[in-house]
Chains A and B, each alone.
Chain A
Amino acid sequence: MRRNSNIFAKIDWLVVLIYLLLVFAGWINIYAAVYDDSHHSIFDVSQKYGKQMIWIIAAFVIGFVILLIDYRFFSITSVLIYAGMMLLLAAVLLFGKEVNGARSWFEIGSIRLQPSEFAKLATTLMVARVLSKPNFIIHKFKNLIHLGIILVIPMMLILLQNDTGSALVYSSFVLVFYREGLTGWVLVIGVLTIALFIASLLFAPIYVIIFLVTSFLLVFIKMAFHKKKAINYSILIVLSAAILVAVNHYLKLGYNSYLLITIPVALFTPFYLYAFLRKKVKAALWIVLIFWGAVGVNYSVDYVFNEVLEQHHRKRINDLLGIESDLQGWGYNVNQSKIAIGSGGFAGKGFLKGTQTKFNFVPEQSTDFIFCTVGEEWGFLGSLFVIFLFVGLLIKIIQIAERQRSTYARVYAYGVFAIFLFHFTINIGMTIGILPVIGIPLPFFSYGGSSLWVFTIFIFILLNMDAHRFELIN
């Protein structure tokens, strides 16, 4: 505790600012989502927004206390914290309270705590601890198993609580492992295949194409670091293909998007083959295969889905994917959510003026579907602001991660990044109908003390470690 006197001079205030903006924006949107004429004081603690205010104040206290704790405390006690949390996860199965079909809550008086939220933090600390062991080589089979077990234990316990969304969060650690040396191809191929299958079912070709272009850019970024000129040229071609498609779409020229994307890619396929054969750039072959493979999957999904599967199969997949086919089931939420966001327009309907989020029209509007309120009342501008803040925070976390001297702190930071990214992506993705409905909260926005506190702790431990980064050697 020796150097605590000057910690406030060292912490990254930009992160604190983004944090405060997100928390405040979250609070007023909960107010708008729950608002009704009979309780209009935002400080009314009988209402969700009043309670959230209390959670927020508590979060500030928690954040402040964490800054005062010695930075070494977390690495030293990682194992203990992890073990304790796993015990709590097990205990909640026995003694917990069931809410909305998930037995994941401890009830202490009027306060309900969700151990699965805190388990994310414990797991992140544990992963950082394991990965920062001296001479830890991630590719070793034994080590991979070790990491796998750390993740599988909380996942299994949370799945037993019937909370699939929270269990899936742990898959985001793949990003951390990737940063620490796990091969990128597994990651890319896995993500692409899943994404492509879902995407081609859910969306008009335009989104699939955006996805394809995106994945190409990903690969290019990787390859750019190999400094292969031939491939750099093709960035231009892909971008022009993307622009071609976009222009065609927005101006409604009516050309087939598949065709438009196929032509420029077909044009530069020879470049890749050349790069692969003559310059021995393996990546070039991958790109060609991925692209043509993707086109193939895209076409075949339509075929398989419509021609091979039977009606009840289709329905089940559609329901699972949240397609607007079943307006009373899952589809209902997503449809209403999209209507709410879409009706916001460019500038939104104005604070408390939302019509769709009133009357609890969008289910779970103050928790999982809180982004609907942002979209409806603040419009595209508000959505832009929120997404900008989140992406800015994520980039800030990467920046912080990379300037850490200790592996422990870096891995921890990437863990924070991965979990935030997963929550942000899944939550907003489902409200705008890009991803299937998976009920996990939007950090700092969704109503609830547990998640707000955990995300606050995540950020403030990071700030604490970052403030002391010059003192950490390990």
Chain B
Amino acid sequence: MQKYSNRKFVIGAIAIIIGIVYLSRLFWVQVVDSTYKLNSEKNSIRREEQFSARGLVFDRNGELIVHNMAVYDLMIVPRQVSQFDTVELCQTIGIDIPFLRKQISKARRHSMFKSYKIVHQIPDTVYAVLQEKLYKYPGFFVQARTLRKYPYNVAANVLGYVSEVPDRIVKRDNYYKSGDYIGFSGIERSYEEVLRGKKGVQFNLIDVHNRKKGSYANGKYDTIPQIGGNLVSSIDIELQQYGELLLKDKIGSIVAIEPSSGEILALVTAPTYSPSDMVGRLRSENYPILIRDPLKPLFNRATMAQYPPGSTFKMLTGLIGLQEKVLTPSQHYSCYGGYFSKARPIACHHHRPSLDLAEALQMSCNAYFCHVFRNFMEKPGFANPDSALTRWLKHVHSFGFGTHLGTDLESELKGILPSVESYNRIYNGSWNALTLLSLSIGQGEIAITPLQLANYTAAIANRGFYYTPHIIKDIDGNGPIDRFKERKYTTIDSAYFEDVIKGMYLAVNGGWGNGGTASIAQINGIDFNGKTGTAQNPHGENHSIFVGFAPLTNPKIAIAVIVENAGYGSTWAAPIASLMAEKFLTDTVKRKSLEERVVNKNLLDRGEKEQ
């Protein structure tokens, strides 16, 4: 039985030798030979993100206002790069050799194996040439991207811009990878998730010569990019363009709203910049210039600048008086050049001495509204000034002042309203109607944004309610955001508005000789109603303000214009508002000389520098 027992050694040796051979082979493949490690990076799959085209934006009339153009990023995987003709590559894409060297060494420091973007946003014309030669540059490949294009090249403050996603967002949101694009301001930012669509991923087999060998596993793991959703803006791009033209060489804002929907028709800020200047490689050149500009073109005055409303606030003072029954429309107050209280006399300009409410608005009498305000504050129903002011604030709030309106515009400011606490602090608890008297004419501890002022105008035009203003009226065919469909009622009964509106009508259409302060805003054939404002401010000349709407019934447009340091409301703001309304309602502007006067006026030198 033990005859062949020694053969166990032969058999055992076979097992051991196979083990040793395999281990040597494994040691060779895994430890000594580096070709397989390289292979695993090179010869394997390359994960390429397929960027979805961002959604398009149309204006309210179906005009395309934002679309895409293709550009290409030149990428590099340092480990795969071998000898190539640097001069030719640099010439092809128009960069200098030191820059290329610098970028390649940056890429090396980043990772030898991972792809790195060395040249950003090569235009498609250059790419057409580069593509033919790309096979000569192993380790290089291009990634298609899209950049924004603006056919009208206006409304930069509304549209915003797209730029590479900052690191802090990459860390927080794993949708984004370093080098991706993200909406950075304006609607690009507030509607980012609609516009961006969904990235796709493609796994490609790549050979050592940097050529695609086809898709991996027949595309089983690939996902198709989903094109971003389209938006329809409520903006009338031609009106916007016209507004920007009118505010040329001026500082200020125009906000126009369709009262029956809250849709913003134009949102002009001046000075501004061209949206095309912030696209792609231009952005890095232009951004530093814009950010250092003392006139702050990147500052969206329409939603962020805060001004005293001045006389445009008088309608609200009147409305509160009517609502609180301390005023009737036929109530007359005399004015002898001002309201003379001991604490703070308020001057008035020259007009007929005795006026009712509508006339007071027509002629913008300060004294009249001081009376109304004082009567309200000292109304027997209120126990003390605190409760009167609280009631007053409730009415003012209901027009959207002193709060975020909740629009779809980014960085909207609240404005400033006084509070009981702030007066207690300032006046040590001892204050009364006279202390606050300037509030009645929109001066003092009150500031509003142009957007709030336009919204207030829309609420008057609607006789007592407004829709939250918004810039996007349709998201990919699904209408606007739901909250924009909701009416917001003011605390003033609808019946009281007619008397105030009558005053606004007279201000524009009452005739210059008759004391109408805004006769310059009169439009032939259109019932344009408005109110001027001349806001005193510590920064130089008065701000020229105007609010208005048209037509009288079923108003189509409510508009607020503020021109900084431009003097009387009737001088610049009123004609601008009037021209905007005419442009919007009739499509053409017949008053060419007025238009010319406005467009050619430079008001940039009226600001603080004189002090």
| Chain A residues in the interface with B (C-beta under 8 A) | 175, 178-181, 184, 207, 210-211, 214, 217-218, 221-222, 225, 250, 335, 338-346, 355-356, 359-361, 375, 379-380, 383-384, 387-388, 390-391, 394-395, 398, 401-402, 407, 414, 417, 421, 424-425, 428-429, 432-434
Contact = CB atoms under 8 A, between A and B. Distances in A.
A218 B9 CA distance: 9
B41 to A, nearest CB: 8
Interface stretch (B31-39, B161-169, B297-305): B31-39
Contact of A432 (B14, B26, B35): B26
Given A339-B39, A355-B40, A432-B29, A398 B11 contact: yes
Interface string B374-395: 0000000000000000000000
Nearest to B15: A394
B94 interface: no
B44 A341 contact: no
Given A342-B40, A345-B37, A359-B216, A380 B31 contact: yes
Given A179-B8, A361-B44, A346 B30 contact: yes
A395 B12 contact: yes
Nearest to A374: B26
A360 B217 contact: yes
A422 to B, nearest CB: 10
A402 B8 CA distance: 8
Contacts of B16: 391, 395
Nearest to A179: B7
Contact of B10 (A180, A221, A360, A433): A221
B39 A428 contact: no
Nearest to A222: B10
B24 to A, nearest CB: 7
Given A221-B9, A398-B12, A210 B27 contact: no
Contacts of A387: 19, 22-23, 26
Nearest to A393: B15
A360 B217 CA distance: 9
B44 A339 contact: yes
A350 B217 CA distance: 25
Contacts of B18: 391, 421, 424-425
12 contacts: A181-B3, A217-B13, A339-B44, A341-B36, A342-B37, A343-B37, A383-B26, A390-B19, A394-B15, A407-B1, A421-B14, A429-B22
A13 to B, nearest CB: 21
Tell me which of B9, B15, B203, B221 has the highest count of chain A C-beta atoms within 10 A of its own C-beta. B15
Q: Which 7 A-B pairs have the closest CB atoms?
A: A342-B36, A343-B40, A391-B19, A394-B15, A380-B30, A342-B29, A339-B39
Contacts of A342: 29-30, 33, 35-37, 39-40
Nearest to A210: B21
A339 B216 contact: no
Contacts of B14: 175, 218, 421
B3 A432 contact: no
A417 B11 contact: yes
B6 interface: yes
A454 to B, nearest CB: 20
A361 B45 contact: yes
B35 A218 contact: no
Contacts of A211: 21
A207 B25 contact: yes
Contacts of B221: 359
A433 to B, nearest CB: 8
Tell me which of B24, B35, B39 has the highest count of chain A C-beta atoms within 10 A of its own C-beta. B39
B13 A338 contact: no
A407 B15 CA distance: 22
A421 B3 CA distance: 24
B1 A218 contact: no
Nearest to A391: B19
A180 B4 contact: yes
Nearest to A215: B17
A345 B6 CA distance: 39
B185 to A, nearest CB: 34
A424 B18 CA distance: 9
Contacts of A338: 29, 36
B202 to A, nearest CB: 13
Given A184-B7, A184-B10, 19 more contacts: A175-B11, A207-B21, A214-B21, A217-B13, A221-B9, A221-B10, A250-B32, A338-B29, A338-B36, A342-B33, A343-B36, A346-B31, A359-B217, A379-B30, A387-B26, A395-B15, A398-B11, A398-B12, A432-B29
Nearest to B20: A214
B43 interface: yes
B553 interface: no
Nearest to A356: B40
Given A214-B21, A218-B13, A340 B8 contact: no
B43 A339 contact: yes
Nearest to A191: B14
A344 B22 contact: no
Contacts of B3: 181
Nearest to A206: B28
Nearest to A397: B15
B428 interface: no
Given A210-B21, A383-B30, A398-B11, A179 B44 contact: no
B586 interface: no
B524 interface: no
A446 to B, nearest CB: 17
A388 B20 CA distance: 10
B125 interface: no
B72 to A, nearest CB: 27
A421 B15 contact: yes
A402 B27 CA distance: 33
B84 to A, nearest CB: 25
Given A391-B19, A395-B15, A375 B26 contact: yes
A390 B13 CA distance: 14
B593 interface: no
Contacts of B29: 338, 341-342, 432-433
A429 B153 CA distance: 67
A181 B272 CA distance: 99
A210 B24 contact: yes
Contacts of B32: 250
Nearest to A343: B40
B611 interface: no
A340 B31 CA distance: 13
